[in-house]
Amino acid sequence: MKKYLCYIGIILAVYACDKNEFHDTGLAYGKHDCSMWEYFAKDHADWDSVVMMIERAGLVNIFDGTHPQYKEITFFGITNLSVNQFLVKNLDENKAMKYQGIRDIPEEMCRRILLSHIIPGKKMQQEFDYEVKGTLTGGTIVKTLSGIDLRVYRIKNPFMGVPDIGEEGLGIHALKSGYQAKVASSNIETTNGVVHALSYTYQMTEL
């Protein structure tokens, strides 16, 4: 009986994990039958802040697929935690927060930050080239909607101490500023593009 209950517990744990990682947060490989804008609006835990930024920047039509020039986009997604870090770490001369909330961030700054994380067209993880290990070269150079040259690269990770056989990762590298960040979850596909969600430790920037 104990053995039977143990099996049930394992099955329920696996199911709960799968439910949390995909259906609740979407931060996993998955396809969503809605626009990117609708996907963000439904997932309050991870994307509430970016929804507010998009509205403030006047960029809803880029994210909902109605912009005539950008029917499909790739977005290196800025999660709520990244936005919160930006708010907390941007201080004035008196060491007080410059911005108490997203409504205090200048509209043009919101616009520049978001456009710096968007490239035209739908680019899945596997469409980017590999980084040359141990260097800052390799990958695929793309231009964001703000005009920044971004090196997007795949990474071969180790598994059980064996190099290059683990799950592949994705990273971005702004060539001018040198800023780098890792993608936590890639290939979140919507009807008008794909999201590669940046790590929770990423601090939002204009790149």
Q: Which of 19-23, 106-110, 148-152 has the lowest mean pLDDT?
A: 19-23
Q: 116-169: per-residue pLDDT in tens?
A: 999 999 999 999 999 999 899 999 999 999 999 999 999 998 888 877 777 899
Q: Which residues of 10-37 are buried (b: 16+ CB within 10 A; e: fewer)?
A: eeeeeeeeeeeebeebbbbeeebeebbb
Distance CA 73, CA 119 (A): 6
Residue 104 pLDDT exceeds 60: yes
Rounded mean pLDDT, 46-58: 98
Distance in angstroms (rounded) separating the CA atoms of residues 18 and 27: 11
- All domains of the chain in start order, with CATH: 28-198 (2.30.180.10)
What does the alpha-carbon distance between residue 144 and residue 203 come to, in Å, rounded to a whole number?
18
Share of the chain above pLDDT 70, in %: 86
Is 96 or 24 the better-scoring residue by pLDDT? 96
Whole-number mean pLDDT of the chain?
Answer: 88
Looking at residue 28, its pLDDT comes to: 52
Sequence-ordered alpha helix ranges (H) in 44-154: 44-57, 60-63, 80-89, 107-115
Please name the residues in contact with 44: beta carbons below 8 A apart, sequence gap of 6 or more: none
Query: Is 60 exceeded by the pLDDT of residue 201?
Result: yes
Distance CA 127, CA 96 (A): 43
| Whether pLDDT at 24 is above 90 | no
Query: Which residues, 6+ apart, have CB-to-CB distance to 58 below 8 Å?
Result: 107, 111
